[in-house]
Amino acid sequence: MTVQADSRTYDFDANVAGPVLGIPPLSVPKFDAPELTPLRKPLGDATVGLLVTCGAYYPDQKRLEQRSDLSYRLLPRERDLSEVLFAHMTPIRAFALADANVAYPRDTMLDLERAGVIGRYADRAVSMVGSISQYDELATETAPRIVDEFTAMGVDLVLVVPFCPQCHVAGGVLARAIERRGLPTTSLTTLHRAASAVKAPRATFLDFPLGCPGGRPREVEQQRAIVRAALETGAAVDPAGPWSLRRLPFRWAADGNRDWETLVTDLYRVDNEIRGSVRANLNAHVMSLAGQEKEFTIRCAC
């Protein structure tokens, strides 16, 4: 739980996109600051919903597609987490396979409810695979349905948890669209360049490996502290103030070493040599918002 003393971040483009995958840098739209919907309740009284993009689902639910799937699954708050599966095939899913809470922090949310940090964790989480580039449909069709789901559960604030690089764009678009439809959001991100450009409402940044927004696998106390900090930091944002990406004060390693950067790069390298799933996923994402951000935000109200 040591305060991060520097401002370094993992550069996906420099470490993975070019040298490992031989692809251009991730296409990331640069949005203006979003309009915020004020929180109706203090965090300690609020019902908090969870929106994850790791593709979590249960065996008796229809599997989510690996990419370009605008559907979602509702995950009950009390169901055994050992049964959960992940449809997102990104190489960094290895962390979630070791501990589901790093990508789908359900146990963490229940712990925060019991501790009184939040009023209540919602009855169901919303889970998608964030490898999506149908941005118009995502903002104008999927986001309103998600708002309806959470509104029916009495949710006051939604925690959005992007997973892979593409998830940071799709998750940011979703967060902005949900916010503009009257439901406050806050996002817990791990890819600094994408998060800074998309500007999801009340976003926080955790300098941890991609795939681990909820903390280090099996480090329960750290996971709880990270998600608590993200929620409290997001809830404290002044809706009238300037947008900023608030960095959370946690280190992956107690001594501050950044060996985890090599681990993340190696996960992508091995996957590229064996499956090539990231390159295949890139070929499926032919749409980009870069260069049409203003038109998109007007058209899609986000």
Q: Which of 1-15, 187-201, 229-243 has the lowest mean pLDDT?
A: 1-15
Exposed e or buried b per residue across 250-268, where buried means at least 16 C-beta atoms within 10 angstroms of its C-beta: bbbeeeeeeebbeebbebb
Global pTM value: 0.94
Identify the weakest region by mean pLDDT among 25-29, 180-184, 202-206.
25-29
Q: How many Å apart are CA 58 and CA 102, to the nearest integer?
A: 17
- Quick one: pLDDT at residue 276? 65
Q: Is the pLDDT of residue 4 over 90?
A: no
What lies within 8 Å, CB to CB, of 28 at 6+ separation is 168, 169, 193, 194, 197, 198, 290
- Higher per-residue pLDDT: 203 or 279: 203
DSSP state of 129: B
Question: Do 58 and 75 touch, CB atoms closer than 8 A?
Answer: yes
Is the pLDDT score of 296 beyond 80?
Answer: yes
CB 147 within 8 A of CB 181: yes
Rounded CA gap, 66 and 90, in Å? Answer: 9
What's the CA gap between 168 and 180, in Å, rounded? 18
* Whether pLDDT at 279 is above 80: no
Q: Quote the CA–CA distance of 65 and 212 in Å, as a whole number.
A: 21
Percent residues over pLDDT 70 in the chain: 94
Q: How far is CA 191 from the centre of its chain?
A: 10
Confidence of residue 165 (pLDDT cuts 50, 70, 90): very high
- pLDDT reading at 5 higher than 60: no
Label residue 284 by pLDDT band (50, 70, 90): low
Closest by CA to 170, choosing from 67, 261, 89, 82, is: 67
Q: What is the average pLDDT score of the chain?
A: 92
User: What is the rounded distance in angstroms from the CA atom of residue 302 to the CA atom of residue 175?
Assistant: 8
Q: What is the pLDDT of residue 292?
A: 85
Mean pLDDT value across residues 146-154: 98
Please report the pLDDT score of residue 300 as a whole number. Answer: 87
Confidence of residue 3 (pLDDT cuts 50, 70, 90): very low
**Residue owning tokens 């900090």:** 229
pLDDT value at residue 283? 57
Where residue 164 falls (left for φ over 0; alpha for ψ -120 to 50; beta otherwise) is beta
The pLDDT value recorded for residue 280 is 59
**In this structure, are residues 53 and 167 in contact, taking their beta carbons and an 8 Å threshold?**
yes
Percentage with pLDDT > 90 across the chain:
81
